[in-house]
C-alpha cells in the first residue's frame, strides 16, 4: 500500500536571518574561510548539537533546538563554542556513538579526536600523505573509525591501539590500511608505450555499514565505482604488494564516462546507500546486498559538478536532501524502496553559490535541516507555515531569507 504523500508540508521550510551563520560577519573567521561540512549529533532533543567545520580550520558548535528564533533579528546564529581544530582546512567531521567525542579530517594530512564538552584535543591520527577528505565512525563503536584521503588510501584507526604519548598528547598510527583503493588501470590489455599502468585516484568518501560492522564502502574521484571492503582481511605489509582484496565492487552507473563520486550516505536504518555522482544523479543502492543501483534520483535543480556535494536522509527515511552546485538544495520524496518515481520534490532556495553540505536533524519530533554554501553561510531550516506564508509577501525578507518550493510532477 502506497504511503500518502507529505511533500506539501516541506513547503513551510524556511530559513530567516536569525537562523543563518554568516562567515563574513564573524570577526573571528580565519582569512575569510568558507564552511566545508556540518553534522548533527546522533542524539535528538535538548542535548542535540550541530557542528560546523571550515576552510580556516575552525570547529564551531551550535544549539539547533534552543537557538534564538527572533524573526526580527538580523544578527544571525552564534556558536555556543568555537575552537581551532587544525591549521589547515577541515573537510570532514563525524560524531562518536555517544556524542561525547568527534573526529575531524583535515588538509594537514591528519585526523584529530576531540572531547566535545571540554573542546580538548584527545589525539592526532597520522599516516596519510595528502588531504584527508572523509571520516566515518564504526556504528555503535566508541573506539574505531575510518578515514579516506586524496593519497588514494583508506585507513582504519582504534583509539585503544598503536598510540604513543608525548607531552601529554597521544599520536596514533593506523591499525589497517587499504592502499590504492580506487586507482584505475589505464589499459587492461596491451598499452601504448608509456601509457599503461595505474592512474592515481583520490578516495572521496568512506562509510561504515550498519548491518555488518566489518564492512565499509568507499568511492573515488576517477569513476562511479563503489567498493565494499571487509576490514577483517589483512592489509599488505609492503608497498610493492597488491592492495587488500575488495569484497565487492560495482559501478553506480553505466554511463561510460568516468566522472567520479562526490559522497556516500546511509539512510537511518542502514538498508539503503546513496552515492552522489558527478553525472548530476544520486544513485540508490541496496546496502544489504550491494550491487548495481536499484534506482537513481535526478532533478533539473540538482547539479553535482564538484566533490563537495553531499546527501542526507531524513530520520523517517521518506526524504533525501542533496546539496547542489547550482546553489539549490533538493529534497526528494522517496517510496518504500528509496525511489522517486513520482518526481515529487522540494527545492530550498537560499544560497547564491554552491550548496555543498547538507545535514538532517536526527529526531522525528522536529523537521530541520542545515545547509552550507560557498556564499559563506550556514543556514538552518525549520517548518513554520505561518511565518513562511507571511514572509513570502514581504519584499525585504524575500531578499535575504531562504524559502522552499514544492514540485508535484507525476
CATH of the domain at 305: 2.130.10.10
Q: Where is 331: in which H helix or E strand?
A: strand 329-333
Task: Please state, in angstroms and rounded to a whole number, the distance separating the CA atoms of residues 288 and 303.
Answer: 28
- 323 in a domain, yes or no? yes
Domain that holds residue 264: 7-408
Interacting residues of 135 by C-beta distance below 8 A, sequence separation 6+: 92, 93, 94, 103, 104, 105, 111, 145, 146, 147, 148, 206
Tell me the pLDDT tens digit for each residue of 278-324.
999 999 999 999 888 999 999 999 999 999 999 999 999 999 999 99
Residue 182 phi/psi, 5° resolution?
A: -125, 25
Percent of residues, the chain, with pLDDT higher than 90 = 70
Task: Please state, in angstroms and rounded to a whole number, the distance separating the CA atoms of residues 225 and 261.
Answer: 8
Write out the three cell numbers for 399.
531578499
pLDDT at res. 197 = 54
Task: Please state, in angstroms and rounded to a whole number, the distance separating the CA atoms of residues 215 and 203.
Answer: 16
- 2 in a domain, yes or no? no
Tell me the pLDDT tens digit for each residue of 223-265.
888 999 998 876 555 555 555 556 556 566 545 556 899 999 9
Q: In this predicted model, which residue has the larger pLDDT, 232 or 352?
A: 352
Tell me the pLDDT tens digit for each residue of 105-158.
999 999 999 999 999 999 999 999 999 999 999 999 999 999 999 999 999 999
Instruction: Compute the Cα dihedral for 59, 60, 64, 66 and give only its sign.
Output: positive
Write out the three cell numbers for 2.
502506497
Is residue 34 over pLDDT 50?
A: yes
- 1 in a domain, yes or no? no
pLDDT at res. 341 = 76
Residue 68: pLDDT band by 50, 70, 90 thresholds?
A: low
- Number of domains observed in the structure of the chain: 1
Amino acid at each position: 500500500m502506497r504511503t500518502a504523500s507529505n511533500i506539501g508540508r516541506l513547503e513551510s521550510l524556511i530559513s530567516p536571518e536569525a537562523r543563518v551563520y554568516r562567515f563574513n560577519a564573524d570577526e573571528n573567521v580565519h582569512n575569510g574561510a568558507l564552511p566545508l561540512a556540518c553534522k548533527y549529533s546522533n542524539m535528538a532533543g535538548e542535548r542535540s548539537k550541530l557542528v560546523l567545520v571550515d576552510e580556516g580550520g575552525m570547529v564551531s558548535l551550535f544549539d539547533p533546538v534552543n537557538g534564538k528564533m527572533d524573526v526580527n533579528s538580523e544578527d544571525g546564529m552564534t556558536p555556543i563554542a568555537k575552537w581551532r581544530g587544525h591549521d589547515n582546512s577541515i573537510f570532514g567531521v563525524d560524531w562518536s556513538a555517544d556524542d561525547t567525542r568527534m573526529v575531524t579530517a583535515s588538509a594537514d594530512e591528519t585526523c584529530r579526536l576531540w572531547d566535545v564538552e571540554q573542546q580538548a584535543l584527545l589525539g592526532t591520527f597520522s599516516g596519510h600523505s595528502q588531504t584527508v577528505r572523509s571520516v566515518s565512525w564504526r556504528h555503535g563503536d566508541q573506539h574505531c573509525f575510518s578515514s579516506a584521503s586524496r593519497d588514494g588510501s583508506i585507513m582504519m584507526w582504534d583509539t585503544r591501539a598503536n598510540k604513543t604519548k608525548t607531552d601529554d598528547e597521544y599520536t596514533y598510527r593506523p591499525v589497517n590500511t587499504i592502499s590504492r583503493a580506487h586507482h584505475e588501470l589505464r589499459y587492461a590489455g596491451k598499452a601504448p608505450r608509456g601509457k599503461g599502468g595505474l592512474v592515481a585516484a583520490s578516495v572521496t568518501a568512506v562509510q561504515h555499514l550498519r548491518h555488518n560492522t566489518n564492512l565499509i564502502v568507499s568511492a573515488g574521484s576517477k569513476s562511479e565505482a563503489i567498493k565494499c571492503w571487509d576490514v577483517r582481511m589483512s592489509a599488505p605489509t609492503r608497498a610493492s604488494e597488491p592492495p587488500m582484496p575488495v569484497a565487492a565492487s560495482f559501478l553506480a552507473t553505466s554511463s561510460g564516462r568516468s566522472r567520479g563520486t562526490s559522497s556516500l550516505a546511509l539512510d537511518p536504518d542502514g538498508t539503503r546507500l546513496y552515492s552522489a555522482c558527478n553525472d548530476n544523479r544520486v544513485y540508490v543502492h541496496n546496502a544489504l546486498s550491494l550491487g548495481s543501483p536499484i534506482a537513481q534520483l535526478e532533478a533539473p535543480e540538482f547539479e553535482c559538478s564538484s566533490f563537495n556535494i553531499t546527501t542526507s536522509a531524513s530520520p523517517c527515511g521518506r526524504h533525501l536532501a542533496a546539496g547542489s552546485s547550482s546553489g539549490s538544495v533538493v529534497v526528494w520524496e522517496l517510496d518504500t524502496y528509496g525511489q522517486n518515481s513520482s518526481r515529487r520534490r522540494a527545492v530550498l532556495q537560499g544560497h547564491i553559490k554552491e550548496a555543498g553540505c547538507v545535514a538532517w536533524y536526527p529526531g522525528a519530533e522536529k523537521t530541520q535541516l542545515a545547509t552550507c554554501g560557498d556564499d559563506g553561510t550556514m543556514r538552518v531550516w525549520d517548518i513554520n507555515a505561518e511565518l513562511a506564508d507571511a514572509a513570502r509577501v514581504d519584499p525585504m525578507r524575500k531578499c535575504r531569507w531562504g524559502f522552499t518550493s514544492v514540485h508535484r510532477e507525476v
